[in-house]
């Protein structure tokens, strides 16, 4: 258990560091006005936009949580941010190339993984846009009001723009704060995942995979428990090719990077419990449906 725990933490920390640095850059250099200008106002277009920009961020599911939080605080709609959070760990080029190599240079599994991830994220984000019109953060973040001189009805002149050095310092300070805020949930999640891997035999789960539905559910549960980084999970999935069909394998490849033990605890540290529960339930439901469709197509 100790070996698995340390390997999980060491594997995830570099990506968390990248994530909090990007979060710091967003906090310092990206304005709310710029976010509102590039994100479409239509909920369907903004969800599609969130799904698409994941290809630009080579981050795993651990590092993408603080990036998403910062984008939402900067004004990105909740559903667009969640769409980005769900697709980013899967459709970025590093993960897709790893999938291609793991499955013996088979582009079909790459297409299935990327296409199913976008479809699941889009459907989940649209449902969430109706259920949660406001971001359900655990902590309320009030907008910063403009400074107003006493007795005047107009804002005071804005302060001088900080220097580049000051802004870089602000980025680093924010990244450090974010790292320790997120890191504790990563450590706890890795410990729980390591304990489950050690004391819950994989054979117990595999015995339940007798039909397409239970096979997909088993692989979803396995992905949640193992909590692999998205850059490495394709090699584990490929080892089950003789046991499960393409539908169940796609469930493992899509659900794991979206939801696992580590990022569940990180999400609970950011969002309210009800929102996280609904999010996990929707991701599981749409992943199951997608895996059944994939299983039929590859039958």
Give residue-wise pLDDT tens across range 21-31: 776 776 677 66
Least confident of 25-39, 115-129, 154-168, 183-197: 154-168
pLDDT of 149 higher than 70: no
Phi, psi for residue 146 in degrees, rounded to 5: -70, 145
Q: Full-prediction pTM beyond 0.95?
A: no
Q: Is the per-residue pLDDT at 236 higher than 90?
A: no
CA-CA distance, 49 to 9, in Å (whole number)?
31
Residue 290: name the closest of 260, 254, 237 by CA: 254
Give the pLDDT band (50/70/90) at residue 144: very low
Res. 285: pLDDT tops 90 = yes
- 91 or 185: which leads in pLDDT: 91
Q: State residue 288's pLDDT score.
A: 96
The pLDDT tens digits for 68-124 are 888 888 888 999 999 989 998 888 887 788 788 888 877 899 999 999 999 999 999
Q: CA angle 181-83-292, nearest 5°?
A: 120
pLDDT of res. 150: 43
Phi first, then psi, for residue 271 (nearest 5°) are -115, 165
Q: What is the DSSP letter of 56?
A: G
The three-state secondary structure class of 148 is strand
Three-state secondary-structure class, residue 227: coil
pLDDT at 128 over 80: yes
Question: What mean pLDDT comes out for the span 263-287?
Answer: 92
């Amino acid at each position: 258990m100790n070996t698995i725990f340390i390997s999980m933490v060491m594997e995830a920390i570099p990506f968390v560091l990248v994530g909090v640095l990007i979060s710091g850059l967003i906090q310092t250099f990206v304005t709310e006005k710029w976010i509102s200008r590039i994100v479409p106002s239509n909920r369907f277009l903004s969800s599609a936009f969130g799904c698409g920009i994941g290809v630009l961020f080579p981050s795993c599911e651990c590092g993408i949580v603080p990036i998403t939080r910062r984008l939402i605080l900067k004004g990105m709609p909740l559903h667009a941010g969640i769409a980005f959070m769900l697709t980013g760990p899967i459709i970025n080029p590093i993960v897709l190339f790893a999938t291609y190599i793991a499955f013996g240079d088979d582009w079909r599994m790459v297409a299935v993984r990327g296409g199913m991830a976008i479809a699941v994220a889009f459907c989940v984000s649209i449902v969430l846009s109706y259920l949660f019109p406001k971001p359900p953060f655990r902590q309320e973040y009030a907008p910063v009001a403009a400074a107003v001189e006493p007795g005047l009805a107009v804002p005071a002149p804005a302060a001088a723009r900080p220097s580049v050095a000051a802004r870089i310092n602000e980025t680093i300070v924010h990244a450090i704060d974010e790292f320790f805020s997120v890191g504790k949930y990563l450590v706890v999640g890795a410990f729980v995942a390591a304990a489950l891997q050690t004391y819950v035999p994989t054979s117990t789960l595999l015995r339940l995979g007798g039909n397409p539905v239970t096979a997909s559910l088993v692989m979803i549960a396995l992905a949640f428990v193992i909590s692999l980084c998205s850059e490495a999970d394709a090699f584990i999935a490929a080892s089950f090719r003789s046991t499960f069909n393409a539908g169940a394998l796609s469930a493992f490849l899509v659900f794991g990077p979206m939801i696992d033990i580590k990022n569940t605890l990180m999400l609970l540290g950011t969002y309210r419990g009800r929102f996280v529960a609904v999010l996990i339930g929707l991701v599981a439901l749409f992943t199951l449906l997608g895996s059944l469709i994939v299983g039929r197509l590859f039958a």
